[in-house]
């Protein structure tokens, strides 16, 4: 059996590919030819370098595969500029449409698509579960809109006979983070003393090993057309800073700024960066601040009861992430 993993050079994909290889699977990896493939160096995989926006190339990559994990996505907390928004749509929505069409034409047994917790509805006062839908009249980031549209593409493919299931991920923390991910960059900044301030708040985080396990469980046990939320637990920013201090040996930032002040600073920073560095990825955005302020929580009951999902401590995932950065010479060894 040949298994295709899209987004294989990304954080989730790199961890999933290693798990599949450990299980003895024959793995074909799909990534853009111009992306950094360092996460796949030395692995016994079959490369399929292509852009999912190219339907014919996608068909060639899928051909001969029995199962597909679609982990590829353009992630962003920015609301612009227009060119970046177009790229998010084309990469996430159009790319998924092409992949699902190619999978259906190739008679793939099952496709697991990585979903985003941002595409799950937020209900103040209680944790969100798989039945909660996003209010379309709320302020939504382009990335959120794209991942909602991705789920509609999955349901359309299901209606046309493709077996597809969604594994919904929260913010991932763990090793083999080569790009690195937003959380990986925060850990690196903390370790090097570049993180000057933070705001109170919290979010749902998932250990890399847990979201990989979630994808494997969904592939083997998930119900067609369903989505399953995977999280290692809600963690406040204060708790995160304490774990970072424990893992890195550095003191946390002295400045704990109020959310309203941080929101103003984020708007200014985003506006300046959009004008002066339009092609550079932005981390400190109004969207990121808003997500932290919401303090969203996830209900993983469905994944636990139907699939047997059992999350592991986030602290260990942060230790693994730091150790991997140290192995690659990006932070001091401890």
* Each residue's pLDDT tens digit, 199-252: 788 889 999 999 999 999 999 999 999 999 999 999 998 999 999 999 999 999
**Alpha-carbon distance 323 to 328, whole Å?**
9
**Alpha-carbon distance 141 to 97, whole Å?**
20
* Closest CA relative to residue 115, chosen from 133, 98, 127: 133
Kindly indicate whether the domain formed by 2-238+292-327 is annotated with CATH number 3.10.180.10: no
* Closest CA relative to residue 231, chosen from 304, 139, 137, 324: 304
pLDDT tens digits for range 142-173: 899 999 999 999 999 999 999 999 999 999 99
The winner for highest mean pLDDT among 14-23, 193-202, 292-301 is: 14-23
Give the pLDDT mean for 37-47: 96
139 confidence band (pLDDT: 50, 70, 90): confident
Find out whether 121 and 168 touch, Cβ atoms under 8 Å: no
pLDDT score at 141: 85
Find out whether 50 and 61 touch, Cβ atoms under 8 Å: yes
pLDDT score at 61: 98
* Closest CA relative to residue 16, chosen from 67, 79, 57, 88: 67
Q: Where are the domains of the chain?
A: 2-238+292-327
**Residue 133 token pair:** 């839908």
């Amino acid at each position: 059996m040949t298994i295709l993993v899209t987004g294989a050079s990304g954080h989730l994909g790199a961890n999933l590919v290693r798990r599949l290889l450990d299980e003895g699977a024959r793995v074909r990896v799909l990534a853009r030819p111009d992306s950094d493939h360092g996460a796949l160096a030395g692995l016994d995989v079959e490369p399929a370098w292509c852009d999912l926006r190219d339907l014919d190339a996608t068909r060639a990559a899928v051909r001969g595969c029995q199962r597909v994990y679609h982990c590829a996505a353009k992630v962003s907390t920015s609301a612009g500029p227009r060119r970046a928004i177009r790229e998010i749509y084309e990469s996430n929505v159009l790319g998924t449409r092409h992949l699902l069409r190619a999978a259906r034409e190739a008679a793939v047994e099952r496709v697991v698509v990585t979903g985003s917790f941002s595409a799950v509805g937020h209900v103040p006062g209680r944790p969100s579960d798989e039945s909660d839908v996003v209010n379309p009249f709320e302020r939504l980031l382009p990335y959120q809109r794209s991942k909602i549209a991705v789920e509609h593409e999955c349901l359309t493919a299901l209606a046309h006979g493709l077996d597809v299931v969604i594994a919904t991920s929260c913010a991932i923390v763990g090793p083999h983070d080569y790009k690195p991910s937003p959380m990986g960059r925060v850990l690196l900044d903390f370790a090097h003393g570049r993180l000057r301030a933070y705001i109170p708040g919290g979010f749902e985080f998932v250990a890399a090993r847990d979201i990989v396990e979630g994808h494997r469980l969904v592939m083997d046990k998930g119900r067609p057309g369903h989505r399953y939320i995977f999280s290692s637990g809600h963690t406040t920013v204060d708790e995160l800073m304490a774990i970072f201090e424990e893992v890195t040996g550095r003191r946390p930032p002295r400045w704990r700024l109020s959310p309203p002040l941080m929101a103003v600073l984020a708007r200014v920073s985003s506006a300046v960066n959009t004008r002066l560095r339009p092609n550079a990825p932005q981390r400190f955005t109004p969207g990121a601040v808003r997500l932290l302020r919401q303090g969203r929580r996830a209900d993983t009951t469905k994944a636990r009861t139907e699939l047997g999902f059992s999350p592991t401590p986030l602290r260990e995932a942060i230790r693994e992430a730091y150790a991997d950065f140290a192995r690659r010479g990006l932070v001091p060894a401890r």
